[in-house]
């Protein structure tokens, strides 16, 4: 997760647990955190599925907003960010057992507003990516971070590629 050493499975799990409790609870794992890109993955389990064995759309939206928010937090110089708008288009379904890859990229990084695009793909064993959903997230990125957030900033710095 840092520039010095490649991430191990233990480091990835440790990072997600420290960075994002809701995503950690559903089994999501961060892979890369930087101001230019945030990636992660999720194995679709019963915890994150609808009763029909399909990834819940709310889980897709939660992943999108979470990874975009973390990227915006880093890109803003560790200022507090807040989601202002989230738009998600679901294109295909992910089923129980599928591996989902998530990637967030900034579209606009301003001093006050940031816009990020997040895509979710199903990863096939053939390494072909199938687009599942695309989201755009607008975030206010100039909010002051409280002193309580210093500890979180240190955790993000530990795992981010800056």
Contacts of 79 (CB under 8 A, 6+ apart): 73, 141, 142, 143, 144, 145
User: Which token pair is 71?
Assistant: 């990227």
Distance CA 73, CA 114 (A): 10
65 assigned to active site: yes
Catalytic site residue from 31, 65, 117, 154? 65
For 127, the enclosing helix (H) or strand (E) is none
Residue 118 pairs with which residues in a beta bridge?
A: 104, 135
Active site residues: 65
């Amino acid at each position: 997760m840092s520039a010095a050493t490649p991430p191990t499975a233990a480091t990835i799990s440790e990072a997600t647990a420290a960075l994002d409790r809701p995503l950690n609870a559903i089994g999501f794992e961060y892979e890369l955190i930087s101001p230019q890109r945030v990636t992660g993955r999720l194995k679709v389990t019963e915890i994150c599925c609808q009763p029909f064995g399909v990834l819940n759309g709310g889980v897709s939206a939660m992943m999108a907003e979470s990874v975009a928010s973390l990227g915006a937090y880093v890109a803003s110089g560790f200022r507090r960010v807040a989601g202002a708008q989230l738009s998600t288009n679901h294109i295909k379904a992910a089923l129980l057992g599928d591996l989902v890859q998530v990637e967030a990229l900034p579209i606009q990084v301003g001093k006050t507003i940031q816009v990020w695009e997040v895509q979710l793909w199903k990863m096939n064993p053939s390494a072909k990516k199938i687009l599942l959903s695309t989201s755009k997230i607008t975030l206010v990125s100039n909010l002051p971070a409280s002193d309580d957030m210093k500890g979180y900033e240190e955790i993000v710095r530990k795992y981010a590629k800056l």
